[in-house]
Amino acid sequence: MNIVHEKRACIMAGVIEVDLFDEDVSSQDHPEVVRFKEVLQKVAEEYHCRLISFEVEAGTVSFALDSDELMAKILRLLQAKADQP
């Protein structure tokens, strides 16, 4: 499934991929990536689950949580954002 707008997002085999940063961002040490990962970990904690996968390459973040419910909520938020004019 692909959602096309300013940002692209898809979910494959339980992993969400989002074009979130500039293409030159490929390090998990990048300050913006660190902040985004911390947000995901905090949300995961609030939902009593874990961030089980997190990668960034060429500005695209791939992540997975061990909660299908939370993964579905995040995907719906991304879809809603992509549907906005």
Residue found by looking up tokens 């992540």 in the block: 63
Q: How many CA atoms lie within 13 A of 72 on its CB side?
A: 3
Boundaries of domain holding 23:
2-60+70-83
Q: Is residue 65 part of a domain?
A: no
In this structure, what is the dihedral angle of CA atoms 34, 29, 53, 79, given to the nearest 10 degrees? Answer: 50
- What's residue 63's pLDDT? 95
Q: Is residue 41 part of a domain?
A: yes
Counting the structural domains of the chain, the total is 1
Q: Is residue 15 part of a domain?
A: yes
Secondary structure in 3-state letters for 30-70: CHHHHHHHHHHHHHHHHCCCCEEEEEEECCEEEEEECCHHH
Per-residue pLDDT tens over the stretch 34-76: 999 999 999 999 999 999 999 999 999 999 999 989 999 999 9
Q: Is residue 55 part of a domain?
A: yes
- What's residue 10's pLDDT? 46
